[in-house]
Structure 1
Amino acid sequence: MKWMSRFSSLVVGFVAITALTLTGCGTSQTAMGDSDEHSEVDHDDHGDEHVHGEWWCVEHGVPEEVCARCDSSLIADFKAADDWCEDHNRPDSQCFVCTPELFDKFAARYKAKYGEDPPKPEELAKDGDS
């Protein structure tokens, strides 16, 4: 009977790992940027293209799944969590204008995934940090 319990645990573990691998650790297609809203190309104030649907929001320096500046549906949750910079109309936790060192937290995630530093978002690049 003990071997059946161990075998069942192994099977359950294998199924869970397989399911997480196939679903991207539970990230929804919308969070991954695969919705129609995110697959479009936007133009910023300078006419540059910003392609939604990638893992990283190059324009704003955060993963697309948490970029409230690209996905306005996220704003209410950030405001409800009292994570909002009224001065710059973005989450406090992503306000590189008020706290430029916040970018380092997001940059570390990018570097862990790609092995290189991410491109600087526009508001940091303007300061000559590019």
Structure 2
Amino acid sequence: MTMKMSRNLVMRSTTFLTLVGTLVLAGCSKSETASDGSGEPVAATNVDHSHGGWWCVEHGVPEEECALCDKSLVSKFKDAGDWCDEHGRPESQCFICSPKRFDKFAATYEAKTGHKPPQPE
């Protein structure tokens, strides 16, 4: 093997190993979310709140209905008279005022995944 070929092989190997190491570390630093849609139960601890899926683990509602994450929804809820001024969230999603309200959203989660949802944070 020539010196040039050997150097090229070392450079490619180093680049490859760096790339693999970066991907492994990035994968390890991400937490699981309940929004993966796999049907597997997901722990609510150390959640990556990426908003990439259908379920907002942090607030316990579907992402498309989460006015705490998507501020553009606030006016829709306020206009409909569905707003808790005390806690700054839709009344229908205010589990602080009434923890039983979570049951409706939990049923949606269970219907989709077959598992109980993680408790909102």
Question: What TM-score do you get using the length of structure 2 for normalisation?
Answer: 0.61
Contact 2:84 2:94 survives alignment (8 Å): yes
Deviations 1:9-28 (A, max 9, x none): xxxxxxxxxxxxxxxxxxxx
- What corresponds to 2:75 in structure 1? 76
Gaps of 5+ in 1: 1-46, 123-130
CA contact (8 A) 2:83 2:89 kept: yes
Cross-structure match for 1:115: 114
Count the aligned residue pairs. 76
State the one-letter code of the partner of 1:54. Answer: G
Q: Render the CA deviation track for 1:32-73: whole Å, top value 9, x for unaligned.
A: xxxxxxxxxxxxxxx963111210000000000000001000
Amino acid at match of 1:110: Y
Amino acid at match of 2:89: R
Query: Residue type matched to 2:106 in 1?
Result: A
SS in 1 for 2:99: coil
Q: Percent identity?
A: 64
The one-letter amino acid of 2:100's match is: E
| Aligned mates of 1:114, 1:53 — CA distance in 2 | 17
Any residues of structure 2 matched to 1:27-106 within 5 Å, and which? Answer: 49-106=48-105
- Post-superposition shift, 1:113? 0.3
Q: Please tell me whether the aligned partners of residues 47 and 57 of structure 2 are also in contact (alpha carbons under 8 angstroms).
A: no
- Pairwise CA RMSD: 1.3
Higher share in helix: 2
Structure 2 regions of 5+ residues with no counterpart? 1-45
4+ runs deviating over 4 angstroms: none
Which structure shows the higher strand fraction? 1
Q: TM-score, normalised by structure 1?
A: 0.56
Report the AA paired with residue 63 of structure 2. Answer: E
Q: Which has the larger radius of gyration?
A: 2
Q: Shift in Å at residue 120 of structure 1?
A: 0.3
